[in-house]
Each structure stands twice: as C-alpha cells, then as structure tokens.
A and B are shown apart, each in its own frame.
Chain A
Amino acid sequence: MSDIIFIGLSLSSILLLIALGLSITYGAMGVINMAHGELVMIGAYTAVLAGLHLGLNLFFALPLAFVTSGLVGLVIERLVIRRLYGRIIDTLLATWGVAILLQQLIRLEFGLSFFGIHIDGLGPGLQNMTVPAFLTQPIDVAGMTIQPYRTFIIVVTLMLAGLTWWLMYRTPMGVQVRAIMRNPQIAAACGIDVRRVSALTFAYGSGLAGIAGVLLAGFKTVMPEMGASVVVDGFLVVVVGGVGSLLGTILAAGILGQINGIVALASNDIIARAVVFAVVIALILWRPRGLFSFKSR
C-alpha cells in the first residue's frame, strides 16, 4: 500500500513541479503560456550543457537553470506577453509560436548549424544528464526501498512550493502581485509598478520551469520536443486546482498524481493517463473555477 502511495506521490511531485511555475504565470497573471514546456526544456538543456562544458553537477545546475529560464521568460514577457495582457486566448496562440521558436533554436543550435558549427549537447538529438551516484542507489529503510532521486524531487518540490507561498503571502512583493491579480487598474492607481511586478512575476514562474527541467532531466531523455508533452499536464493541474490558488494547485497535483498511480497499477500507463484526462474534463465541467478556488467577487 505504501509503495502505491509513494508512486503516486512521486508522479504528483513532477506534476506539481511543472504546475508550480504555471500557477504563477497562468494563475496569477492570466497568461496561458504554451512556451512553459519549452522553458522546462531550456532548464534541462542548461543542466546538460553545464555538465558537458563546465563540469557542473545537478546541484549547481539548479540555480543556473533558474536564472537561464527566468531570463528567457523575462525576454518573452517584454517582447510578446506585455502586449497581450487581458487577451487570454491570444496569449495561448502567441506563446505557441514562441514555443516553436524556442524548440527550433535548440534544434538548430541557435542557427549555428546553418554554418556547419556544432555545439555538444545541442541539436536535434537526444541528450542525457548524469545524476550524482549517491542519488541513484536505492536505500532500504525499515524494509522499504526508497528511490533517493524521487525523494529528492519530492523534497525540492515541497521546498519550492513553500518558498513560493512565502513570497506570495509574506513579502511586500507578494502583496503587490496579489493586488495585480485582483485588479490591475486599481493596483496601478495605488502606486504599484504593474509592468515591473508583472515582468518579475513572469520571470519567477519561468525560473521555476527551469528548475523543473533540471529535475526532469534526471530521469527523462532531454530533447527539443520534451516540453510539449508536459505543458498540458501542468495546465490541467492548475485549472483543476483553481486559478490563482497555490494550495489548490498543490492538492490537485496530489490528487491527479495518485489517480494516475493507482490506475496505472490496476491497468496500464496509457489508460491511467486517459482516466486522468477524463477526471479533469468532468471536474472542469462541474466546477470551471476549480476545486479550491476561494476567490470571491
């Protein structure tokens, strides 16, 4: 029984990892960022490149990926998203274009492959990140086998969720972000620099995507298309949890991950994913505002 829960927990933590950044950019800012998966991908490539060229391991790659994806997010916000606030469907479409651009930039090695230059770790092929050995050896604790890497992911995810909560609810910056969530015009009238705060919020959400990328790279193959498959899962979690509710996102990730784990055990992985989609559709129909949306108007 406990291993079933642990499998579900580990699936949940990955969902949460991806959804955490989205709960900021979509939940707080009303931007459907289809390029979120690509920010995850950039985080993963940062880890690969840092390992190949700088000899840095996972622990150094985490902050590096946070900064890289955050900066890319900042640029996306400046160039594209800033012009689209309030036009939620248009943000979805424009960022889909951005997603293709980012994928192609990695695949074409920033255009260098046109000139026959090749950088190790980029290009259309598959890449791998090496995980430090002490994180790959299973440990036996009281008769249970524990996968240290999965545990590590769960711990990091919970820490990030805690950090995000602290930033949003215990800092002056968080107060400003939440004020903008409720009403950007009034927030601006109260003297909040909406543009600056929005840009930083978006960059923070993107940075979280970068961290997710590094952790994913530990057990998934790194390739230019890897982001496309994760972004939808992330959205479903955020929508089910309730837009703008951090707690809702965490609980939704927990529930969907457990459903996925239990059904996968009873039948197979494909059916498990299908069941998760079915549950999500039913939940959105039943409560479009999400399970845990406490926001009242």
Chain B
Amino acid sequence: MSSETSSTLPSSTSRLQRHADWAVYAVFIVMVLGAPLVIDDVFWLNRIAKYLVFGMLGIAIALSWGYAGILNLGQGLFFGLGAYMTAMSLKLMSATSLQQGSDKPVPDFMLWNAEPGAVTDLCCINKGSFLWIPFQSQWFGMAMSIVIPLIVAFVLSSSIFRLRVSGVYVAIITLALVLLVRLLLIDAQPITNGFNGLTDLGWLTIGGFEFDPYMVETYYVVAVSLTVVLLLGRWLVSTRAGLILQSTRDDPTRARYLGYDVAAYQIFFFTISAGIAGFAGLLYVVAAEFASPSFMDIGFSISMVVWAAVGGRNSLLGACIGAILINTVEATVSETEIFKEAWKLIIGGIFVLVVLYLPNGLAGIARDLLGRFERRRKGTPAETAPKAAE
C-alpha cells in the first residue's frame, strides 16, 4: 500500500472548505485538551474522558462506514476484546488479586470458584487460568488490546472481502460474530467471570506513576490519545490509499477494473478501524475501571453507529463529536429517572429523522452552510454538494 501523501482532497471541496475544516479540527483539539482548565470537577472530567473514548469509537465507525462503505455492526467485538485484554492485566495488579492467601496474583473470582484443594496459582487453579499468566505484565495486556483486535479483524475481513461478500451481509456477519463471542465469553466463566465481567481493577502504572481514573493526568492520557488517533485517521484518509478506498466505496466494480485490489484496501481499513476500537477499549478500562460482556451487546454496537450517523458518517471529526455530544447530553438529562426514559424516546426519534432527512449528520449541515456562505460571497452558480455515500 502506497504511503505517498497527497494534499488533494476530492475536487468538490474548495479551499475555503478545507481551511474551515482545519479550523474546526484545531478548535476541537484545543477544547479537548483545554477542558481540565475550565472543568475542575474530577468526577465530570472522568465522565468526559469516557465520552472521548466513545468519540474514538465514532472515528472507527466513520473510517469503516463512511470512508470504506463497510457497515460493521460488530464494532463492539473489537472494543470488548481491547477492554478485556487490558482489564486482565489491571485485574492482576489490583489489591484484591494479591490478598488472597497467595504470594502470586490470582483474580479473586477464580479463588471463589476454585475446586477445594486447587493450587492457588495462575498456572493451574482451573483449566484455562494459564492463559492469564502473560497478563501479569501490564504492557503485554495493553499490547494485546490492539494486537488481538487487529488479528481478529484481519482474519475476518480477509475471508469476507476475498469472498466478495458485501453490503448488508457484512453487517449481518459482524453482528452474528459479536453475539457469538459474547456468548463464548459468558460461557467461559472460570476465566472471564462470565456475566459479571472484570471489576475491582488496579490502576494503570507507568514508571511508578499510578493513573487514578479521577485525576487530570488520566484525562490527558485519553485526550491526547484521541487527538493522535483523530489526526492519524485524518492523514490516512487523505493519502493515496485513502482516496482509492473511497473509490472502492463508490464503485467497487469500476475500481476493480481500473486494476486496484479492492479487497486489500477494504481489509486494510477494516483492520485499522478494529485496531482503533481495541485501543478505545483499552482507554475505556483505564478510565472506567471495569470490563463487561455488555460491551458486546448488539445495542452497544448499534449505538456506536447511531452516534456516527448523527455526527456525520462521512466525517471522522463529525462522528467523533456526535458520539461525545450524544453521551454528554444523555449524562446530563439522565440525572432523573423519568428524563432518562424520555431521552431514549427522543434519541430514537432523532435517529429516525437523521436517517430520513440528514444522511450526512451534523457535519453535513456544517458543510452545506459553509457552501451556501461561499457561493453568496463569490456569487457563482450553485456547485453540487459532495454526494452522500450509501
């Protein structure tokens, strides 16, 4: 895959639009990084950190759905895998794993369910517990949070796209897969703690510094990660590979006849998107201190798509802002039970309306307004707006 950068975006975006685009990116990044200066309530800061993680999921969705035209209804699989890998490491670091009558860390739930007389060591407390041994290293767990989703996504997307399965079938396969893994995860109770998930986690520790989730430093870990992912994603879609990817989305047959290996581009971006979701899972565990099978519920995976759709599926930043916005509003109105239920009603309605009338979401509105402003300034006849992707 060529890494040759090209600054030429599709010709329908004008110079003004490009400048405005960068300005919005700059404002967003300044706001994300500057939030702790304005908000001094660590409780809210921790909440916002979680929503920034969801924003990262929005980016992952926009990358695969908006740019590659692949609707992945199982993004929760990669998020969940990422979360569990880090959570396993942090579980072994927590005090509850060390104070169970063994000098080596053993997760508390394994001890509760251990056969009488079993050796209280990770090697053999139950049949699968040896899988936990490498996770005693926090770095191993964190690396696996990204590597495992990458591998799973690569294998999955290779079989899907090499066999030229497309459109709604990809959505159904990914949906079935996330449900499948969720069931296996719950069934493997002895090593995953089943329905209860992994709780009581330790803190991420780097060089002796402990990242308490309710600390400004932890917020910055998430905020800086989001910024980096956002800019990398932005760069990736503007490369030659990114442009070819968009052409495969608009017309796979034509791209194939032009000599491009369509499947290779789809596999590459699907896998990258999964890696981002895995990374988001890692960060979520650091901020939220738990991992649960609910990350692999269908509802959660579809919610991610909702966030991206409301923010704008064709815009990485739009999808990211959509996720942050929806979750922040939800948290604000969910203080009272009755508003919480009413909010769900509203979000359902908003979603129907967005799909019907605003296929490009909030980012689409912004682009349209800018285009209108520009035309008025120039006095040129209406330029056709960038066409929406299916």
Interface residues of A (CB under 8 A from B): 32, 34, 80, 83-84, 87-90, 92-94, 96-101, 103-105, 107-108, 113-114, 124, 228, 232, 235-236, 239, 268, 270-271, 273-274, 277-278, 280-281, 284-285, 288
Contact = CB atoms under 8 A, between A and B. Distances in A.
A235 B71 CA distance: 16
A232 B172 CA distance: 9
Contacts of B163: 285, 288
Dominant secondary structure of chain B at its interface with chain A: helix
17 contacts: A83-B356, A88-B167, A89-B167, A90-B355, A94-B351, A94-B356, A97-B351, A103-B348, A105-B345, A113-B338, A114-B342, A277-B177, A277-B180, A277-B183, A278-B180, A285-B159, A285-B163
Given A99-B348, A103-B348, 8 more contacts: A32-B168, A87-B390, A97-B351, A104-B341, A104-B344, A232-B298, A281-B180, A288-B163
A104 B180 contact: no
B71 A274 contact: no
B176 A280 contact: yes
Contacts of B338: 113-114
B186 interface: yes
Given A89-B390, A235-B172, A281-B173, A97 B348 contact: yes
B187 A100 contact: no
Interface stretch (B87-95, B120-128, B301-309): B301-309
B160 A97 contact: no
A92 B348 contact: no
A3 to B, nearest CB: 25
B165 interface: yes
B182 to A, nearest CB: 9
Nearest to B350: A97
A167 B14 CA distance: 55
Interface string B25-55: 0000000000000000000000000000000
Contacts of B302: 34, 96
B179 A232 contact: yes
A93 B341 contact: no
The interface size bin for chain B is 35 or more
A285 B169 CA distance: 9
B168 A88 contact: yes
B224 interface: no
A142 to B, nearest CB: 37
B382 to A, nearest CB: 24
Interface string B338-361: 100110110111111001100100
B171 interface: yes
A165 B307 CA distance: 40
Contacts of B71: 89, 92
B237 interface: no
B168 A98 contact: no
Given A108-B345, A270-B187, A274-B183, A94 B165 contact: no
Given A268-B187, A274-B184, A277-B176, A92 B171 contact: yes
B201 interface: no
A104 B351 CA distance: 14
Contacts of B298: 228, 232
Contacts of A83: 356
B153 to A, nearest CB: 14
B114 to A, nearest CB: 21
A80 B356 contact: yes
Contacts of B169: 239, 284, 288
Nearest to A267: B187
B134 interface: no
B324 to A, nearest CB: 20
B342 A108 contact: yes
B245 interface: no
Contacts of B356: 80, 83-84, 94
A273 B179 CA distance: 9
Contacts of B347: 97, 100
Interface string B59-70: 000000000000
B168 A271 contact: no
A107 B168 CA distance: 31
Contact of B176 (A84, A104, A236): A236
Contact of B352 (A98, A228, A285): A98
Nearest to B309: A93
B299 interface: yes
A228 B299 contact: yes
Contacts of A277: 176-177, 179-180, 183
A97 B173 contact: no
Given A32-B168, A108-B345, A270-B183, A93 B177 contact: no
B167 A285 contact: no
A94 B357 CA distance: 11
B222 interface: no
A93 B351 contact: yes
B272 interface: no
B230 interface: no
